[in-house]
Amino acid sequence: MAAPASVTIKDLTGKWTMDKKLSTPPEPSLTLQGVGWVKRKAITNATIALDIKQYLDASNLTHIDIKQTASGIPGTTETRVLDFEKVKHSDHVFGDVEGRCQWITLEKIAEPLPEHTSTAEEVEFLSKGWICDASENGGPNGERHIDSYVQNDTNKWLARQIWGFAMIEGQRRYVRRVILKKYEPKSKDDILFVTLVYNYDS
């Protein structure tokens, strides 16, 4: 289901389901991330649902708490603060990771992160296809996107996600564009360009 106009990156609070037909198949990503075969198959066959709560704290920082469930396996909880500070997280799917989040404009995606500099090809992928309209403004300075970076030192992979809204098959959808890669890519299977599209449920 398309996202209503009232739901923007300013407040993603609600229930969402990944649209498998419109999203990149998860199997290659899970393999790159070192997820075991049994769990990969369970996730690949599951319905992925997000329960998102987005809010401001007393310091006016944006928090995004996400409970993610996949039918048939235990869920995970992710808590993000858009202050660009590095935080640690651990769950049964991806293990121990570190990451940081921030509001971002498309023009700034090319700027280096402390841990990673995106290539020109990656920047183009992360920047393309978004709705560029003032109605999508959500950040404190009018940003229309969220930048989420994470890395796993055990399995030596990193992922950079840009969140926003895009027109997909004529409908406005919540979308994440993701670059997922090994620290030292040795083949095309070690660098993945992933698109995740979500249905708005309620």
The CATH architecture annotation of domain 14-200 reads Beta Barrel (2.40)
pLDDT of residue 52: 99
pLDDT of residue 73: 86
pLDDT of residue 159: 99
pLDDT of residue 117: 95
pLDDT of residue 132: 96
Q: Which residues of the chain have pLDDT under 50?
A: none
Sequence length of the chain is 202
pTM value is 0.97
Helix (H) or strand (E) run with residue 46 in it: none
pLDDT of residue 198: 99
pLDDT of residue 15: 98
Tokens read off for 33:
């991330």
